[in-house]
Structure 1
Amino acid sequence: MNNLNIDFEKVNGLVPAIIQDVDTNVVLMLGYMNQEALDKTLETKQVTFFSRTKQRLWTKGETSGNFMLVDHITVDCDNDTLLVKVKPLGHVCHTGEDTCFGESNKSKTMFIDHLREIIKDRKNNPSDQSYTASLFAKGINKIAQKVGEEAVEIVIEAKDDNKDLFMGEAADLLYHYLVLLEAKKYELDEVMDVLIDRHKNK
């Protein structure tokens, strides 16, 4: 993040900063940063803007406590707009809404894409400490077996009323299923395509 090449002069010293939730990909708000605001954001890992109304630096959450913790920052192709991926600590808008656009930011399903990238990395860059890497090392039969075991376990838990146990088995099944897809060199998007086609043909 420290090697960001931004053309501040192109836009009179201020560049727009699009703030996006790193887990949900929901756009939370838009602010503006000058060099000083960006430097402070990089230093503190908390989003800091330049307030055009107050004419000073403004760290989001400095009064409410709803800070936005920076995960990573990228620059657009013209080097004059920032995309800041964050973990928000509470609602973002001063109105109490999740976002400044009135949209909900409750879903965490986009985390699956992040998890897929981690699984792919464990396959391509294995380590002795990684459980995921150990699954890939054991081969497709062992991975498929684990998916079967987790499927049976979630069926068993579904017959009871213990939510914690059921959720644990659901997470295990989903994780091992994603590992199986990666082992087969198939993308989750391909599964989505099948579901989309089925939906269209209903």
Structure 2
Amino acid sequence: MKIDFKKMNNLVPVIIQDDRTLQVLMLGYMNEEAFEKTKAEGIVTFFSRSKNRLWTKGEESGNFLTVKSMVEDCDQDTILIKVIPTHVVCHTGSFSCFGEKEDKGFLYELQTKISQRIDDKVEGSYTYSLFQRGINKVAQKVGEEAVEVVIEAKDNNDDLFKNEAADLLYHFLILLKAKNFSLEEIEEVLRKRDQK
């Protein structure tokens, strides 16, 4: 990245976006020092215009922004940073400086929870206990849920169908984790197919 810090008095605007839901969380500013610190530590640090110093988001509240990716715009004078927020982002207590949390992208949050339960070996967790039983059992469970979706699709009970579809998605996410793949990788396959 070659950011043009000189264009606007050594500061560039930085758009912060939730990596999982793509919700815009806040806007801040960085000078070159804040940018380098953010790159080095993987936690967002801004230049505070009111405090006239570097300011790591969450240094007082503990609500840090963990960097997932950074990209500059076409003019190289604005940065988009996708993050995983620790908790709420806005100083008012709202999830975002632009309003409350949006639920678009809940599957990504669920994927993260599933991964955490497995990685942390959470005892008593259905997710972890199924994962421990091995790939064959996880795959079998996905197959069972798929059959139940087909059965309910042929009936007229919308609630049962939606519940079985949710079960299928949940177990599919466990299968992806067991195979060391992510929902994003499956999306990429679909994107490539869409271009044909």
- Superposition TM-score tier, normalisation by shorter sequence: 0.5 to 0.7
Structure 1: gaps of 5 or more residues = 115-145, 190-202
Match of 1:98 in 2: 95
Shift of 1:73: 0.2
Residue from 58, 69, 74 that aligns with 1:72 = 69
Decide whether the 8 Å contact of 1:16 with 1:80 is kept in 2. Answer: yes
Residue from 146, 160, 179 that aligns with 1:151 = 146
Residues 1:37 and 2:37 aligned together: no
Structure 1's 71 and 182: CA in aligned 2 closer, same or farther, altered over 3 A?
A: closer
SS of the counterpart of 2:146? helix
Match of 1:28 in 2: 25
Q: For residues 111 and 56 of structure 1, what CA distance do their matches in structure 2 show?
A: 35
Alignment of 1:139-178 (within 5 A): 150-153=145-148, 169-173=168-172
Match of 1:133 in 2: none
Question: Could you tell me the TM-score, scaled by structure 2's length?
Answer: 0.62
Decide whether the 8 Å contact of 2:70 with 2:80 is kept in 1. Answer: yes
Identity of matched residues, %:
52
Decide whether the 8 Å contact of 1:151 with 1:173 is kept in 2. Answer: no
Decide whether the 8 Å contact of 2:145 with 2:167 is kept in 1. Answer: no
**1:142-176 deviation digits (Å, cap 9, x = unpaired):** xxxx98654115578997xxx9x986533235798
Decide whether the 8 Å contact of 1:46 with 1:59 is kept in 2. Answer: yes
Structure 2: gaps of 5 or more residues = 112-140, 153-158, 176-182
